[in-house]
Structure 1
Amino acid sequence: MEKAIEVKNITKKYKRYSNPMHRLAEWMSAGSIKKHEDFWALKDVSFSVSKGECLGIIGHNGAGKSTILKVLSKSLWPTSGSIVTHGNVVSLLELGTGFHPELSGLQNIYTSGKLLGFSEDYLKGKLQSIIEFSELGDFIHQPVKSYSSGMYVRLAFSLFANLEPDIYIVDEALSVGDIFFQQKCFEFLRKLKEDGTAILLVTHDMQTVKKFCDRVIILSDGEVVDEGTPLDMVNLFYTMDKKSKTVQNTDNTYSYQIETTNSPQIHIPLQSRVNIENAMGIRRGNQDVKILGANIVDTDNNEIRTADTGDLITLNIYAEVMKDISDLTFTFQFSDRHNTVVFGQNSYMLDKRKLKAIKGQIIKASFEIEMNLFQGLYTVMVGASDCQTEVGNIIYDWVEGCTTLEIMRPAWRTFHGVAYMNSKFYIESNSMEE
């Protein structure tokens, strides 16, 4: 497939000064005195984008996403490496950048279009399409300073979209505006991609990544740490510690042998242990039972970080018994972005049985859950306590924020609110004729 963008071994170094006077001292010494630290925002980054392909770039804040966009848009120059683009490039990084508030929408179409390198004749040929796409009507003749934020965004995207270059570089600009205009924008970009336009998309919206991108790379600390399909990369991204690179060799396992002769060996996946070690919330308890790992898997036993409403998932909790326990229950909670518990349960609630455990045992406790939650990102708590219906009197181990699960937006919404409740609909009617 013909390449539209080829990025080879790009690096970008910044000088960081702890004090503004250090910059002056270094300059006055003509470089003989070094007062700065080198910061490498990008380290040997390489990738390519083919015509008609959408490449997604994801990563936590500070990973280097903005820097690579600025380098590709030529607002920054790399320290080393090369970038080759085949065709015209338009960057939708900050919609409306360059618009003059005193000029009308129509005048801004011409001035901004010329700044992007397009001729007046070309812009005249695209003018009607731009105006119709923006749906601004007569407001196109009004100064943009009188526009609402939504109108401003409509004009900006309409201009950029209808220029139809060979390459689009897009960031979070598409997250603004109302949902209907966002849908219109993505549909327009989808058509452009089908017609051969290459798109580079940088976003924190994992739903967009999964549904719109053909291929995804993950950036961390300025480096490409993995590349693959959108589904694999989104799931992998959610397993990454925000302060470190992706855990490698996730197929490796830690194995613990239960001392009793009639019990099988318990294998604890490496990533489940990493989830506990890198938990973002509070951890408490007397450690009489110590949680070693936790993960969420699908029906094929693949670890996941995304699911659809109604999907059947399994939450596994791995624990080591540090002393004999006569009453033990395992528990979990899902919390929303406001840290409100939307669903929680424990093993005692399900079957009213007290679990007994002896020192040295390794236990795998599994909850099979039908995820009837509305779309959104949820954090997961896992715990071990004594047997109580609600909150245990004795907390052995309690780990908040050990993993996340994002419920994706459905193709067709069947309910609203927080949770799905099984319901049926009936209707009766009597004849009004006499």
Structure 2
Amino acid sequence: MATPIIKINQLSKVYRVYNTPGDRLKETLSITKKKFSSDFHALNNISLVINKGETVGIIGRNGSGKSTLLKILAQVSTPTTGSVHIQGSVSAILELGAGFNQEYSGLENIYLNGTIQGKNKEQMNKKLNDILAFADIGDFINQPVKTYSSGMFARLAFAVAINVEPDILIVDEALAVGDMKFQAKCFRKFEEMKTKGTTILFVGHDVSSIRKFCDKAMWLHQGKLVAFGDTLGVTAEYMEFMNSEESEQPDIKALDEEGLSDVEPAEMFSEIKIDAINRWGSHKNSIKSVALINEKGRSTTVFQHGETVRIILKFTLPENIDLLHFSAAISIKNTMGLDLIVFTTHDEKNTIFESTSNEIELTFEFVNYLTEGDYILVAALENRKGIQPEYYDFIEGVAYFKSIATKQLFGVVHTPYRILLNKEVNLTSGK
């Protein structure tokens, strides 16, 4: 049974913003209570529950309220309205250097942080060797921390935070300043703490790390909670939003209530952009629009590995063409311009076009086996009478999309496969 450890109820944090330093004094001394400031909502009416032992990844653009939320949870800032109830001890790594005295040595700061966490000197003595081993900064432990590099600061802060054995660990992008070896070391420690039931809140911009490590994800945007729940679903919505050139504001209500928003059929299609990489052919502008649809029926530019993809082309038939050899095709290229996958109606003899058709809507449906990366979509109307196609309308860069995966995959395309092991084969040495 899930045990709530953090309860957030209608939490808001509002800051007063002044145009000039003097406006603050004017507002303070104003007899008429005239306002010389405007309100900035860093957090706006957030409610959620985090259970004991859960690991939650927090995502969102810069300025979305992530750090403000963590400061309130770490009890270094207070909310304007609403409430936060926490069961257990909290250890937080916030801004680099937070909680450290710049004039103290690393060793002195270890004991200072221990005191802040409610640990006495005897308790910290027992943890000292583990902290020093994890931080791995050598003789610098006896030097003032103001002489430390950002990486050394991060290693020491993380080593202290994890070794005071908190019920809740909060990490605000501190790992970004560490090298790959240190980051790997931190994630191994995260996994160890998870098995012990520690609740972890982790802010990061690396979606793949959040997917690999976190049980749930929280998406904040302009101080509002857009979505909270299954990591894969929330991060997919977030990446789709971040990679959409047209989206400026996520549909917060729809995502909160249903996990996705409805899309009208007309909204799925986008007119061909004039900034396509290349466009040529004897009948340019025959291709009118394109839509990329995921298996939920939504228009998107982000697809999961293994999900069904539909690419819908709308086009008109060029006049006086040879319909017997007419073909429509799409190609998926990598960013280097190499064709990876090509689909064409020329290979499917049962696709018959009629000259009486006004506008044709053609759907290519396939399973996305591309590994994680950025891809370019090509669309073409062809004459396949000869060995080499002749093009009526060819567009390189008709659309762009991302493929994402829940685990690390190698190569460009990762398709299903079987492994057969014949255990009856005996290999002998000698003759």
TM beyond 0.5: yes
State how 1:372-383 maps to structure 2 within 5 Å. 373=371, 377-378=373-374, 380-383=375-378
Residue 221 of structure 2 corresponds to 220
Q: Is the contact made by 1:55 and 1:215 (CA closer than 8 Å) also made in structure 2?
A: yes
Q: Is the contact made by 2:303 and 2:403 (CA closer than 8 Å) also made in structure 1?
A: yes
Pair 106,197 (structure 1): closer, same or farther in 2 beyond 3 Å: same
Q: Quick one: percent identity of the two aligned structures?
A: 30
Establish whether residue 320 from structure 1 lines up as the match of residue 311 from structure 2. Answer: no
Aligned residues: 390
Q: Deviations over 1:232-280 (max 9, x none)?
A: 222222233552124836575656xxxxxxxxxxxx8x7xx28x58x99
Q: CA deviation at 1:391?
A: 11
State how 1:42-81 maps to structure 2 within 5 Å. 42-81=43-82
1:239 match: secondary structure = helix
Q: Deviations over 1:40-95 (max 9, x none)?
A: 22221011222211122222333322221222223332210001111221111234
Q: CA deviation at 1:395?
A: 5.1
Aligned residue identity for 2:293: N
Aligned residue identity for 1:106: L
1:84 match: secondary structure = strand
Residue 382 of structure 2 corresponds to 387
What is the TM-score of this pair, normalised by structure 1? 0.73
Task: Compute the RMSD of aligned alpha carbons.
Answer: 4.2
Establish whether residue 243 from structure 1 lines up as the match of residue 241 from structure 2. Answer: no
CA–CA distance in structure 2, aligned partners of residues 85 and 190 of structure 1: 22
Q: Is the contact made by 2:169 and 2:201 (CA closer than 8 Å) also made in structure 1?
A: yes
Aligned residue identity for 1:243: E
Residue 262 of structure 1 corresponds to none
Q: Is the contact made by 2:302 and 2:402 (CA closer than 8 Å) also made in structure 1?
A: yes
CA–CA distance in structure 2, aligned partners of residues 280 and 54 of structure 1: 42
CA–CA distance in structure 2, aligned partners of residues 396 and 355 of structure 1: 22
Q: Is the contact made by 2:333 and 2:341 (CA closer than 8 Å) also made in structure 1?
A: no
State how 1:12-411 maps to structure 2 within 5 Å. 12-17=13-18, 23=24, 25-30=26-31, 32-100=33-101, 103-145=104-146, 147-240=148-241, 243-246=248-251, 248=254, 250=260, 252=262, 254=264, 273=268, 276=270, 282=275, 287-297=285-295, 305=302, 307=304, 314-322=308-316, 324=318, 326=321, 329-333=328-332, 340-341=336-337, 343=339, 346-347=342-343, 351=347, 358-366=357-365, 370-371=369-370, 373=371, 377-378=373-374, 380-387=375-382, 394=393, 398-401=397-400, 403-407=401-405, 409-410=407-408
Q: CA deviation at 1:180?
A: 2.6
2:156 match: secondary structure = helix
CA–CA distance in structure 1, aligned partners of residues 274 and 215 of structure 2: 34
CA–CA distance in structure 2, aligned partners of residues 318 and 414 of structure 1: 29
Pair 414,15 (structure 1): closer, same or farther in 2 beyond 3 Å: closer
CA–CA distance in structure 1, aligned partners of residues 29 and 91 of structure 2: 40
Residue 425 of structure 1 corresponds to none
**Worse overlay, 383-392 or 192-201:** 383-392
Aligned residue identity for 1:294: L
Q: Is the contact made by 2:262 and 2:298 (CA closer than 8 Å) also made in structure 1?
A: no
Q: CA deviation at 1:36?
A: 3.6
Q: CA deviation at 1:7?
A: 0.9
CA–CA distance in structure 1, aligned partners of residues 119 and 333 of structure 2: 52
Q: CA deviation at 1:128?
A: 1.7
Unaligned runs of at least 5 residues, structure 1: 256-267, 423-432
Q: Is the contact made by 2:43 and 2:65 (CA closer than 8 Å) also made in structure 1?
A: yes
CA–CA distance in structure 2, aligned partners of residues 63 and 29 of structure 1: 32
Pair 390,209 (structure 1): closer, same or farther in 2 beyond 3 Å: farther
2:42 match: secondary structure = strand
CA–CA distance in structure 2, aligned partners of residues 335 and 21 of structure 1: 55
Pair 368,301 (structure 1): closer, same or farther in 2 beyond 3 Å: farther
Aligned residue identity for 2:310: N
Aligned residue identity for 2:54: E
Pair 179,144 (structure 1): closer, same or farther in 2 beyond 3 Å: same
Pair 320,16 (structure 1): closer, same or farther in 2 beyond 3 Å: farther
Q: Deviations over 1:198-226 (max 9, x none)?
A: 21222222222222222223223322232
Aligned residue identity for 1:209: I
Pair 370,52 (structure 1): closer, same or farther in 2 beyond 3 Å: closer
Q: CA deviation at 1:393?
A: 7.4
Aligned residue identity for 1:290: K
Residue 420 of structure 2 corresponds to none
CA–CA distance in structure 2, aligned partners of residues 201 and 75 of structure 1: 17
CA–CA distance in structure 1, aligned partners of residues 333 and 226 of structure 2: 29
CA–CA distance in structure 2, aligned partners of residues 414 and 395 of structure 1: 31
Q: CA deviation at 1:34?
A: 3.5
Q: CA deviation at 1:22?
A: 5.1
